[in-house]
Chain A
Amino acid sequence: MQYQAVIGLEVHVQLLTNTKIFCGCSTKFGASPNSQTCPVCLGMPGALPVLNKKVVEYAIRAGLATNCSIAQRSVFARKNYFYPDLPKGYQISQFELPICVNGHLDIEVDGKVKRIGITRIHMEEDAGKLVHGDVPGLGQGSGVDLNRACTPLLEVVSEPDIRSADEAVAYLKKLHQIVVYLGICDGNMEEGSFRCDANVSVMPVGSDKFGTRTETKNVNSFRFVKQAIEHEIERQIEVIEEGGRIVQETRLFDPNTGTTRSMRGKEEAHDYRYFPDPDLVPLVISADWVEDARLSLPELPEAKRARYLAELGLTAYDAEVLTASRELAEYFEACTALYPQAKSVANWVMGELTRALNEDGKGIADSRVTPQLLVDLLELIDKGTISGKIAKTVFDEMYKTGKAPAAIVAEKGLVQVSDTGEIERIIDQIMAANAGQVEEFRGGKEKVFGFFVGQVMRASKGKANPALVNEILLKKLKG
């Protein structure tokens, strides 16, 4: 029998606020254990949560960027369960009335566009973390670090519209790109800033009745998502083919084996006893607030790509590469604002600059080559001060030192030789020294022309203006 997979994703997006969702503690990663805590995030008796407005702003942004409607009134709820990393014995989340509902993202897989529904986006607090083994100051045992407790998260829940691992990855990549573009998440999957739980089920092709689903937890890279889902689909089909039944359960992905294993079954599932948190009043969001957020949204990758195609005349491929990250797109746009020849800028940004950064393992933000410097370099080429080839040498120096290209050119004596007298002198020397080849050329073997260009360029240490070299050489060879 042929099977169809049905997939829904729950993505946790850690928000880039300076302070936690319900208190004023810092959210910085990597501080010493429990140094970023206060009575509120420690769950001390009598402590009360106060909502961080920035979190709401970020949630609204995420909602608008994923075509959701923003709820005028949403409610925080308590999700009750006991765990040592959960200080209050409940997590403050949203349940029945989340802040964003009914959105969607359009993804493209194998050239086909598909719409994936977004059921809801809600705000919640993260838990702390447990440290096992040799705990500093405690010895052997388990310690609780509550620095991460109360860090703001968005949970983005998709509809079960996804039908393959590739679609799941395309959806995740798109969502990832959007939250990073919005500046609300650093997108770091290894540190857990963007993590995903996958709900997977299978049904016979043509059926409209979903199979029993499993939930695979905390898959922390795009590659692992693909692996985990593919494995889970295969596993479920195998179970059914062998006459078994899928059990509704939570499974854990093991990156070492690329497989999933059972974590807890439905009968062990928690009854979270959700109820509205009486410590927080319902969140009321005015139409004006939503409008302000809409106006402050950055141009999103989809819109940027369309504009690069229509207004800048770039190819679809160039537009895709340049909008991959907001930083790169902003760099590119800063260049074109100074120097409107977009195609030429695109070639340099995607070529030399990206190559150099990749070799160093750096991002565009670390680049010493500012948009102004890159544009200065392009202008030196246009003016004929240097050739395109020499420009690459200048670029490498500029990339290393951050010096202005004109200064590098002067310092290293790289100014292009456009003096026809000088070029003629070099050509004459070369022709005299290679009389045999001159004869060959004149005898119709035009390929030899390239040999002469190479010799002249070498003699001029690459500084001879290539256009002039071509022109004069041709004239002289033809006699």
Chain B
Amino acid sequence: MNDLSLIGEDEMELYELTICELHDKLKKREVSSVEATRSLLARIEAVEPRVGAYITVTAEEALKSAAEADKLIAEGKSDILTGIPVALKDIFLTKGIRTTCASRILANFIPPYDATAWLKLKERGAVLVGKLNQDEFAMGSSCETSAFGKTRNPWNLECIPGGSSGGSAAAIAARQATATLGTDTGGSIRQPASHCGCVGLKPTYGRVSRYGVIAYASSLDQVGPMTRDVADCAVMLGAVAGFDPKDSTSVNLPVPDYTQALVRDLKGVKIGLPKEYFIPGLDPDVKHALDQAIETYRGLGAEFREITLPHTDYAVATYYLVATAEASSNLARYDGVRFGHRAKEAKGLVEMFSRSRDEGFGPEVKRRIMLGTYALSSGYYDAYYLKAQKVRTLIMHDFIRAFEEVDLILTPVAPTPAFRLGEKTNDPLQMYLSDIFTIPVNLAGTCGISVPAGFSREGLPIGLQLVGRPFGEEAILRAAYAFEQATEWHKRKAAL
């Protein structure tokens, strides 16, 4: 462990505080939101050249909203999020603020409206400090497909931060935002959270509105928080969750106070260990961290049993048919007609379409559009898309059956800790396999969380994944919180 990470609490800089800690100081008027925001902006300036978490930093707007938040706090109208500096994956539409989805095709796109999830934070007084890097259109597991440069892992600048919400995770690890939002289609919140040592939660499909979130694969995309600890995660989830009349797939269920679920007692909680996830090829450091975590949970009163999720092997293939099929259609709107990049001096309509898209999209996005177009094509639909949907149903049933036996499922988040930059960029299949433990949760439509659970011998963070029943976010938050309180992993800081 690095000595630099052992700074005493009273010497903490404002940018190092969690939401709950900063809120406490704001409420007591010990500090102002402007001070906290300044502290974060200075931190961004200091470390951003090394980390590269941001696509756009909105310093001016941030200080303005921070001043407004301070006014509210002075009037006693302070909410837990009032004056808290947050940052968003650049997939969330922010009215008047450039939103790129890390693509050249949207390099100059200024949205005319706000995403619902962001609007909910904004209405509660949160301060936007910037828009975070990601894989282009959320397609990737390493943040390397961005058209705006690479993001580096704050724990080891030679390593990827994970993806696609790599900027959101790196910003938390590098203390460049108090909390962030990401999106998760096949692991895009949980995998980078695991690689960067932060907490990342993918809610149940339908729990958070997708309105104003640039679509990758509509039936899988979900918005979720990425935070320093579980308590902050509960706060953020409570803020963004809920039914949205603008999203027909959002579910009209009441939003519980997730912070009430944060108790340390796990007596009698039955946790399943799917045998398909604990395979010989698992990285020994990951396995070691998981074994230790299981012991910790036993100590907290949880009971373990082996379960089976028999269709796990088909999950990655299924995902790459369903997600790419939807993506091929979702990305058709980027045609250069109404917004986004338009090829110059194209002769005729077809050339304008094809050149705009050719120039605007990166290679991974093109690869997935082609895969998806193929999967939906006449003559192949039944063999690919339809078959994939059927397998998806089987995978869903795997989870339903498992949850008849256990309350939670514990698994690794990723087969290995963060890999090196460039290590898998030329091997898409290897890259795709890094999401093998997270993808089934999206296909099943249920919720999962990644919590820091240790470090590799190289000093890279390792997360564990807890999967809950649909709309069982309280249960996974509770188990994550109990584990966090029993361990010290989340207190370590990346030395930058």
Contacts and interface: CB of A to CB of B under 8 A. Distances in A.
Tell me if chain B binds chain A: yes
A273 B373 contact: yes
Interface string A39-67: 10011111111110000000000000000
Nearest to B220: A278
17 contacts: A42-B338, A43-B333, A47-B212, A49-B248, A80-B376, A82-B353, A87-B337, A89-B331, A89-B332, A271-B378, A273-B329, A273-B376, A273-B377, A273-B381, A275-B385, A278-B218, A278-B249
A357 B101 CA distance: 61
6 A-B pairs closest in CB distance: A89-B332, A278-B219, A278-B218, A273-B376, A46-B212, A45-B214
A80 B332 contact: yes
B471 interface: no
Interface of B is mostly: loop
A144 interface: yes
Interface residues of A, number: 28
B27 interface: no
Nearest to B352: A84
Interface string B29-63: 00000000000000000000000000000000000
Nearest to B212: A46
Contacts of A48: 210-211, 246-249
A441 interface: no
Contacts of A89: 329, 331-333, 335
A467 B214 CA distance: 84
Contacts of A90: 329, 332
A45 B248 contact: no
Contact of B376 (A43, A84, A275): A275
A43 B336 CA distance: 12
Interface of B: 92-93, 99, 101, 106, 109, 111-113, 115, 210-215, 217-219, 245-249, 325-326, 328-329, 331-333, 335, 337-339, 349, 353, 373, 376-378, 381, 385
A39 B333 CA distance: 12
Contacts of B213: 46
A88 B333 contact: yes
A24 to B, nearest CB: 10
A88 B93 contact: no
A279 B248 contact: yes
A144 B337 contact: yes
Contact of B93 (A46, A49, A82, A281): A46
Contact of B115 (A46, A82, A271): A46
A344 to B, nearest CB: 55
A96 to B, nearest CB: 11
A78 interface: yes
Given A39-B112, A39-B113, A80-B332, A46 B211 contact: yes
B110 to A, nearest CB: 11
Interface of A is mostly: loop
B333 A84 contact: no
A80 B376 CA distance: 10
A459 interface: no
Contact of A47 (B92, B211, B337, B353): B211
Nearest to A142: B349
B112 A144 contact: no
A275 to B, nearest CB: 6
A397 B376 CA distance: 68
A46 to B, nearest CB: 4
B111 A45 contact: yes
Contacts of B212: 46-47
A280 interface: yes
Contact of B377 (A45, A271, A278): A271
A44 B211 CA distance: 11
Contacts of B215: 45-46, 279
A44 B219 contact: no
A278 B109 CA distance: 25
A21 to B, nearest CB: 12
Nearest to A45: B214
A48 to B, nearest CB: 5
B171 to A, nearest CB: 21
A274 B326 CA distance: 11
A278 B218 CA distance: 6
Contacts of B247: 48, 50
B337 A280 contact: no
Contact of A278 (B326, B333, B338): B326
Nearest to A51: B248
Contacts of A49: 248
Contact of B248 (A42, A80, A144, A280): A280
Nearest to B332: A89
Contact of A50 (B245, B338, B377): B245
Contacts of A87: 333, 337-338
Nearest to B218: A278
Most chain B CB within 10 A, of A46, A78, A278, A281, is at A46
A173 B41 CA distance: 70
